[in-house]
Amino acid sequence: MKIVQTELFKEMEKGLEGKEWSSVLMLPSFVMRKSVEGKSGEYYALDLGGTNFRVLRLVLKDSKVVNVQQAKFKIPLEHVTGETACSDGLFGFIATSVKKFIGDSRVNYPPLGFTFSFPMTKKSLNSGILVRWTKSFTTHGVVGEDVCGLLADQFKRHSVPMGVTAVINDTVGTLVTEYFEDDTALLGVIIGTGFNVAYWEKVANIPKYIRANPSADPSHSMCINMEVGNFDSPHMKVLKYVANEYDAKIDAASPNKKLGLVEKMVSGLYMGEIARMALLDLKKQGIIRGLDGKLEKKNGFPSWHLSGCVADDTLRLRKISSILKKNYGVNTTLEERKAFRLVCGWVVVRSARIAATIIGSVVLRTGYEWDCTVAIDGSVFEKTPGYPELMQKAFKDLYGEQPFNIRLVLTKDGSGKGAGLSAALMS
Ligand code: BGC
């Protein structure tokens, strides 16, 4: 853990300095830590980052969200990956979905926040150039482009009277959402399909931002999107101590090879697959039987089933039995179910300990480990029983005798609401 911490501190420094290459991008968000007082009015938010796209309308009264309306649209796969996936298709889909949402309401350029959950370099609050795709996106014509510009073109084409006020990462949105409730919120974290961390950093500690914005006030704090899922990629200087052959296979089969190696160990897009491959090996070695059909296929064991298996605390592991019977038609012996429980548990423990080491290290860097709130959203954190406790245990191992009080708070929908709240905070 300490080795990971030392390496992370080094990479964070390099990323903030911006002179040498670093595995963590440490991207300035242009969202500043300021007073949330007196925010009222209507804000819109867009949320793109996974399989669904969402549009939200928030009403704020005295800085409290008093009303939320939202609609969810499934993004057609043809806009996400494959030969046909292109920027016009993806951003055209966003514009038409927004149009459906606003319908006949008479909106006239309301403040609009856009959560775009991928690495972006920014020159202002309402611009963001996509550095690279992560997760399973490969849409052509977006990398190197300003996503707000692409969206503005499609809004124009589809006569949507809106323009982006703030484009942010989902970790930034999660931090800002919690910050509206609790001003000790220090980090925003997503442990879901992807994995990433944002935190408040003193402007004085972000030399690359000061160089680009010489009039910036060094005493202010800005939210930094770390893009920490890419930490230690591609060389695995420290991750090699916890990596195995299944990680290598996951990486080899991914569209972003040798990138996002931490994310591939921690997040929900990959955990089920890691467990499935390990279990298939046990089958090959004759240790367990069954696992036919779907379980033999690539990505045949989604992470939410893995979470279900970990949740089984019955003596005869009946929950695992029912998950495997119902979803895969597999009958299992108790010994086989124990193997499932063990393998799934192992994948979860590793995920939680890596996530906690990174989070604990970032908190330590800020110097607030004795009292702070870490806002976390994402299916892995929310739906995997025991995950928060595993993280707290890892903090103990990391901090030793040092006193610490890190509250891990589930911040539901930080990714959606956070965009609207960031637009409000900065208005
Ligand atoms: C993206 C991050 C995002 C995280 C969680 C990663 O794949 O690169 O920008 O915050 O997923 O959605």
Q: pLDDT tens, 224-267?
A: 999 999 999 999 999 999 999 999 999 999 999 999 999 999 99
> Given ligand 1 and candidates 120, 174, 227, 269, which is best to mutate, with the most ligand atoms within 8 Å of its CB?
227
Q: Ligand 1, atom 1: nearest CA belongs to which residue?
A: 118
> Given ligand 1 and candidates 29, 114, 133, 196, which is best to mutate, with the most ligand atoms within 8 Å of its CB?
196
As a whole number of angstroms, the distance between CA 307 and CA 310 comes to 5
Tens digit of pLDDT for each residue in 65-80?
999 999 999 999 999 9
* Ligand 1 atom with minimal separation from the 119 CA: 9
Compute and round to an integer the Cα radius of gyration of the chain: 22
List all residues whose CB is within 6 A of at least one atom of ligand 1: 49, 117-119, 134-135, 169-171, 190, 194, 196, 227, 229, 263
Statement: residue 107 has pLDDT above 70: yes
Reference 240, options 231, 83, 185, 220; nearest CA is: 231
Token pair of 69, please? 């309306």
| Distance (Å) from CA 274 to ligand 1 centroid | 19
Burial class (CB in 10 A: 0-12, 13-18, 19+), 185: buried
| Active-site residue, from 117, 221, 233, 321 | 117
> Given ligand 1 and candidates 169, 269, 413, which is best to mutate, with the most ligand atoms within 8 Å of its CB?
169
- Is-catalytic flag, 170? yes
Of the pLDDT bands very low, low, confident and very high (cuts 50, 70, 90), residue 291 is low
- Is-catalytic flag, 117? yes
The string over 368-402, giving b where at least 16 C-beta atoms fall within 10 Å of a residue's C-beta and e elsewhere, is bbeebbbbbbbbbbbbbebbbebbeebbeebbeee
Does the pTM surpass 0.85? The reply is yes
Q: Ligand 1, atom 4: nearest CA belongs to which residue?
A: 194
The answer to whether 197 touches 187, Cβ cutoff 8 Å, is yes
Report pLDDT for 294.
Answer: 78
Q: Ligand 1, atom 12: nearest CA belongs to which residue?
A: 194
| Active-site residue, from 170, 232, 247, 251 | 170
Burial class (CB in 10 A: 0-12, 13-18, 19+), 338: middle
Tens digit of pLDDT for each residue in 194-206?
999 999 999 999 9
Burial class (CB in 10 A: 0-12, 13-18, 19+), 82: exposed
Tens digit of pLDDT for each residue in 170-199?
999 999 999 999 999 999 999 999 999 999
